[in-house]
Amino acid sequence: MDLNNSVGIVKRQYFTFAQDEAMPLDSGETLGPVTVAYETYGRLNPERSNAILIVHALSGDAHVAGYHSAAETNPGWWDDCIGPGKAFDTDKYFVICSNVIGGCQGSTGPSSVNPGTGKPYGLSFPVITVGDMVRAQAQLMDHLGIDKLMAVAGGSMGGMQVLQWTVDYPERVMAALPIATTARHSPMLIAFSEVGRQAIYADPNWNAGDYYDGPRPNTGLALARMIGHITYLSEQSMQSKFGRRLQKREHFGFEFDTDFAIESYLQYNGRRFTDRFDANSYLYITKAMDYFDLCNGHGSLVKAFANSGEITYLVISFTSDWLYPTYHAKEMVGALTTAGADVTFTDLESTWGHDAFLLEVDTMTGLIGDFLERVSAEHGIRLPQPTP
């Protein structure tokens, strides 16, 4: 545990709603009760106006900063950007992050017990959308007494939730930071999602999603993760990080063992992923991403953003991100500008591919920190008093 500029020891919290009346979903189905796991860092000001919601990507969770115990060596997934003096400065802002519904890190998802049957939902869990994820987050904001968020921020699928917030709840958002994302999931993204899902379906242990009392479809899930993992990197970052280096050998093995470091890295990370992730959640969340298209129900992006004109945006893309290429960000920026929003757009030079949103910390710290200061000043937000 490294407490330097850290939010320190944090605790996962839970909020449960829709006990009496189930939450309506975009599919027409309903879900209830719904539990949302979340964490908070920093202090809410008396006006309750300095709250920032961080929304996570496919494999993320509510644990975005700090440590769950003194024994932990790895902090939350975006700890580099969240803490005292960091991009999202917890000395100034009250930061909230919740696990998406459909997930497997404390929020209601396919591995949760279906109260109707007393057994895990599995595939009887309803298909959810990014809109549904955001609807559950809005309930959490109600619960926390936060009428209007100072900002919503996130990368990748997190960025989709950011955009969805500004379309569905424009009156509840002052500023939005969609990072390394898109307003419409592209066919290439759908293609990679679908191949990952097919890898899970192909695992005999998957058993049509009914595996919670038996062996898990970890082979399929690891394969899906390996496919995804490649797409988060760039050709350049793989060249510089691995090249054609061999893994613990001097010469080619001339057999079907691991020869190259990149193979070993992918296999290791694929296996490790199965320790913390549920295969059914992978199916549900990728499906939600595939369905994501802000034009749906609006006809065009400009119309989708019709009521978002009062929101201040910071849109960030990365030059080597071939999964969410820069032109997606530009399309979004064009529509937002037409809709009258105040948009700052930066295409950051980076060789890290899609993962850049987690790695380009120095650049983002300045960029995001300055942006949030501006939003905070424009809205006259009082920062919490320093602790004595």
Please report, as ranges, the residues that interact with a second copy according to CB under 8 A: 27-29, 123, 126-127, 184-188, 190-192, 194-195, 197-199, 201-204, 219-220, 223, 226-227, 230, 233, 235, 238-239, 241-244, 252, 254-256, 259-260, 262-263, 266-267, 283, 287, 290-291, 293, 322, 325
Residue number, 194 or 310, with CB nearest to a second copy: 194
Residue 97 C-beta: closest distance to a second copy, Å: 27
Residue 296 C-beta: closest distance to a second copy, Å: 9
Is residue 66 helix, strand or coil?
A: coil
Distances (CA, A) of 159 to 163, 223, 343: 6, 25, 15
- Distance, CA of 80 to CA of 357 (rounded, Å): 11
Residue 58 C-beta: closest distance to a second copy, Å: 17
Residue 226 C-beta: closest distance to a second copy, Å: 5
- Distance, CA of 71 to CA of 10 (rounded, Å): 13
HEC assignment per residue over 308-330 = CCCCEEEEEEECCCCCCCHHHHH
Identify whether 210 is a catalytic site residue: no
- Distance, CA of 78 to CA of 3 (rounded, Å): 15
Catalytic option among 59, 156, 234, 350? 156
Residue number, 167 or 262, with CB nearest to a second copy: 262
Residue number, 80 or 203, with CB nearest to a second copy: 203
Measure the CA angle with vertex 16, ends 110 and 207; round to 5°.
10
Residue 361 C-beta: closest distance to a second copy, Å: 24
Identify whether 69 is a catalytic site residue: no
| Closest listed residue to residue 315, CA positions, set 359, 387, 383, 364 | 364
**Structure token digits, residue 2:** 């490294």
Is residue 358 helix, strand or coil?
A: helix
- Give the distance, in angstroms, between the CA of residue 71 and the centroid of all CA atoms in the same chain: 26
Catalytic option among 56, 63, 185, 354? 354
Is residue 59 helix, strand or coil?
A: coil
- Distance, CA of 175 to CA of 158 (rounded, Å): 15
Residue 271 C-beta: closest distance to a second copy, Å: 11
What residues pair up with 82 in beta bridges, in sequence order? 88
Distances (CA, A) of 253 to 209, 258, 264, 267, 354: 38, 8, 14, 17, 32
Identify whether 281 is a catalytic site residue: no
Residue number, 17 or 260, with CB nearest to a second copy: 260
Residue 73 C-beta: closest distance to a second copy, Å: 27
Residue number, 257 or 378, with CB nearest to a second copy: 257
Residue 80 C-beta: closest distance to a second copy, Å: 25
**Structure token digits, residue 69:** 């115990």
Distances (CA, A) of 137 to 15, 62, 123, 134: 10, 12, 23, 5
Distances (CA, A) of 4 to 7, 319, 363, 382: 9, 31, 20, 26
Residue number, 192 or 357, with CB nearest to a second copy: 192
Catalytic option among 61, 79, 89, 321? 321
Residue number, 46 or 243, with CB nearest to a second copy: 243
CA atoms within 13 A on the CB side of 320: 18
Residue number, 133 or 233, with CB nearest to a second copy: 233
> Residue 156: CB partners within 8 Å, gap ≥ 6?
57, 58, 179, 180, 181, 324, 354, 357
Question: Would you name the residues annotated as active-site residues?
Answer: 156, 321, 354
